[in-house]
A and B are shown apart, each in its own frame.
Chain A
Amino acid sequence: MAELTTLREAVAGLVRDGDTVALEGFTHLIPTLAGHEIIRQQRRDLTLARMTPDLVYDQMIGMGVARKLVFSWGGNPGVGSLHRFRDAVENGWPCPLEVDEHSHAGMANRYVAGASHLPFGVLRGYQGSSLAVKSETISRVTCPFTGEELAAVAALNPDVAVIHAQRADRAGNVQLWGILGVQKEAVMAADRSIVTVEEVVDELDPRPGAVVLPSWVVTAVAHVPGGAHPSYASGYSKRDNAFYSEWDAVSRDRDTFTRWMAEHVLEPVGGSAR
């Protein structure tokens, strides 16, 4: 059963140096404040997995948390580059960053295989793409029934999955709705999971299109309202588009970035102090 705890305790107990950690959320419900807690607790040598590394991974990479990134699209949506990610890949700052790079379809199927406890996922894809040449987690497999050659992608089974959801009840059942991304797959593929939620309620009444993760597939639930900012939680908050634009200037320069992180993330302030 999921334990209702604080974000600080959840990260302290469940995220270890060297782990493969997946913070998922496809534009919507990005667990930003959980990422900040991992930064504050100075985890090192993590393999960070995420389909769409955006600002939270830019911050984690820039703060030296990651050794490797497993991903399919790393940019600042609607704005441009992730400067800390680029600096790490291009110049090894603050430390070298290895990459294992996929397409979205490949990453999604890696999570599905992981959640299914299968060794690999199957898709039609990667034909002729340099991605297949570069990645050791992309191969080919022949269908035993039709003889068709298909792409095989290694299952992705993170040590820890971290997601943000709208609500949980007091028993730790988690409910999320709107754009669902691969959060359910990431949680079910992972050995352990942390879910931050906007709200803890007595009872989860039905919502259209909602997914419920039963308490017994989740390890820890923490009440972190606003935990997805500058992303959003449908029904609770709007996407802070201005923050995404402003991040471009903050992250472009190493010193400006370091100062910003010291001021807004390392010093426990407001919502991040939980």
Chain B
Amino acid sequence: MTISQEWTTDEMMTVASARALTQARTCFVGIGLPSTAANLARLTDNPGLVLIYESGTIGAKPGVLPLSIGDGELADTADSVVPVPEIFNYWLQAGRCDVGFLGAAQVDRFANINTTSIDRGEGRPPLRLPGAGGAPEIAAHAGKVLIVVRHSTRVFVERLSFVTSVGYGEGGDHRERLGMQGAGPNRVITDLGVLEPDPVTRELTLVATHPGVGADQVREATGWPLRVADEVATTDAPSEQELTVLRELQERTKETHRAGT
């Protein structure tokens, strides 16, 4: 296969994430990479996808990507706008979201997420991150969870400084024992490839790499000895249509935000 790449690794990651939403009906979306991918899914394979943002906007159909979780564009294009206690209690906790879509600052081998703080060693205060937001309950209650994050040893760490949102806890049946109603993270999509939890141990396993990426490269970018599936698939390269729609969306977004709206 020739690897004259006509897309960036970020584009590959976003396209792979959007494809993971092909079958979803409702998606509770975090801002940033998840929002980009979820909107790409809505504009390509899954036009009926209901996007739910934690600002209470249900069925948002933004023409450009929001910069914040509460942009006017989300409210103006939504089917319904509900107060924040309602979005978490009636919609997320009640099990009305098929997929929760999260980013992360750190991920461990059992797909637990840290977005709170990172220890920097002796003599230095921990690095303060923004915190939980809606993620702990998205991770708990969504039917399943997708995580999208760039791959590096700073992100994929042996041990989290802080467990903000739980994936599979300590692995095995720990998640079930915690009484979480959603099935948990079923896929972690990065700029290098795709990880999925082992059905029994729940340890993240490399199941696919993006075109031009080798399993060794993914191992090197992971902070623990990464398990690799017996057969590692290669992700289909982004199609012409996926790239066009994504680039147009990003260009529209840039233009609109530059114009100060």
A residues in contact (CB < 8 Å) with B = 26-28, 51-52, 71-75, 77-78, 81-82, 85-86, 89-91, 101-105, 108-109, 111-112, 123-131, 148-149, 178-182, 184-185, 209, 232, 234, 238-242, 244
Contact = CB atoms under 8 A, between A and B. Distances in A.
Nearest to B134: A104
Interface in B115-174: 116, 125-137, 140-141, 162-166, 169, 174
Given A81-B129, A101-B132, A103-B137, 7 more contacts: A27-B71, A72-B131, A90-B127, A128-B169, A129-B136, A181-B56, A181-B84
Interface stretch (B3-11, B176-184, B239-247): B176-184
Contacts of A108: 84-85, 88-89
Given A72-B131, A90-B126, A179-B81, A27 B69 contact: yes
Contacts of B55: 26-28, 179, 181
B190 interface: no
Interface of B: 31-32, 54-57, 66-72, 74-75, 81-85, 88-89, 92-93, 112, 116, 125-137, 140-141, 162-166, 169, 174-175, 178-181, 257, 260-261
14 contacts: A26-B55, A52-B133, A72-B132, A75-B130, A82-B130, A103-B132, A103-B136, A104-B54, A104-B132, A108-B88, A112-B85, A128-B163, A148-B179, A182-B85
B128 A90 contact: yes
A180 B81 contact: yes
Contacts of B140: 124-125, 127
Nearest 7 pairs of A and B residues by beta carbon:
A27-B70, A75-B130, A78-B67, A77-B68, A73-B133, A128-B166, A105-B88
For A27, A86, A234, the residue with the greatest tally of chain B CB atoms inside 10 Å of its CB is A27
A129 B163 contact: yes
Contact of A101 (B70, B131, B165): B131
B108 to A, nearest CB: 12
Contacts of B174: 128
Given A78-B68, A124-B141, A209 B81 contact: yes
A126 B81 CA distance: 26
A179 B166 contact: no
Contacts of B178: 127-128
A156 to B, nearest CB: 12
A243 B132 CA distance: 24
B89 A109 contact: yes
A103 B68 CA distance: 18
A56 B99 CA distance: 33
Given A103-B133, A105-B93, A124-B93, A185 B85 contact: yes
B83 A105 contact: no
Contacts of B175: 128
B contact face: mostly helix, strand, loop, or mixed: loop
A104 B84 contact: yes
B260 A91 contact: no
B68 A109 contact: no
A26 B129 CA distance: 19
A125 B137 contact: yes
Given A27-B70, A128-B166, A130-B163, A73 B132 contact: yes
Given A85-B128, A128-B178, A105 B71 contact: no
B180 A127 contact: yes
B83 A184 contact: yes
A82 to B, nearest CB: 8
Nearest to A28: B70
Nearest to B165: A129
A230 to B, nearest CB: 11
Contacts of A185: 83, 85
A232 B180 CA distance: 37
A223 to B, nearest CB: 23
